[in-house]
Structure 1
């Protein structure tokens, strides 16, 4: 069973309304982790002016991420290799780790202004702001005069 939220007051389809019913989120080929680790959690929010995708990625740095937009597909990826080695007399310790992930979202062509997408990383949260095109923003109601 597919749950689909509909907003009868809006004449434009909502990316958030169709979050689970659209094919823009393909778990088989677009979202994966090379290291069989958990993919970062993602929140998708919508207001009148933009969509915001928030990726929970504590302990990472701003330069650890790659974000690309190609043919209306937004891809967030990261690849981190870390090594730590210490030697103390007879003992030595070497630890290394490797993490990578990729999450992709197919964006609706008619809603998002791809030239104005912006991202920031703050306190473990990567926020990607996807501004709506002017024609997709809700218009205030107005009175129509009768002639």
Structure 2
């Protein structure tokens, strides 16, 4: 006998109506993550993080204890007015994302970061693995 979960309709998370209802009224679900590519070369690591819609001032990068941490916050506020100028809709959103990556033996003083077209690129030059410390990275 086949198991038919469709009997519960709106409560079935795989039901098309429920999925579309959730997206329309609850917004798209974000798991607090973003896409990242990491390339290791002989003399450095290059990290490319996709952060479209984020402003440079909302991005924080740090390197401590062999871990690169990228945090980003995005806030938006919009109003839609009717022909008479009365507000008919006011929406706000706030998105926070963060990721950390273990990248050992990096010269923290020489880390460079740039942000262009929604892509954050961080170059982390390698150094002697015996040196440690914390360092905040500015974005060019």
Q: Please, what TM-score do these two structures have when normalized by structure 1?
A: 0.59
Q: Paired residue for 2:114?
A: 120
Pick from 90, 102, 106: which aligns with 1:106?
102
Alignment of 1:1-147 (within 5 A): 37-38=30-31, 39-88=33-82, 89=84, 90-108=86-104, 111-133=105-127
Q: Bigger radius of gyration, 1 or 2?
A: 2
Does structure 1 conserve the Cα–Cα contact (< 8 Å) formed by 2:81 and 2:87? yes
Aligned equivalents of 1:123 and 1:67: distance in 2? 18
Alpha carbons of structure 1 residues 37 and 63: separation in structure 2 relative to 1, 3 Å? same
Aligned equivalents of 1:60 and 1:72: distance in 2? 26
Moved over 4 A (4+): none
Alpha carbons of structure 1 residues 54 and 69: separation in structure 2 relative to 1, 3 Å? same
Kindly report the root-mean-square deviation, in angstroms, between the aligned alpha carbons of the 2 structures.
2.2
Aligned equivalents of 2:38 and 2:78: distance in 1? 36
| 2:109 alignment partner, SS class | helix
User: 1:24-50 CA distances to partner (integer Å, 9 max, x unpaired)?
Assistant: xxxxxxxxxxx9514211100122221
| 2:113 alignment partner, SS class | strand
Unaligned ranges ≥5, structure 1: 1-34, 136-147
Q: Please, what TM-score do these two structures have when normalized by structure 2?
A: 0.62
Does structure 1 conserve the Cα–Cα contact (< 8 Å) formed by 2:46 and 2:121? yes
- The alpha-carbon deviation at position 96 of structure 1 amounts to 1.1
Unaligned ranges ≥5, structure 2: 1-27, 130-140
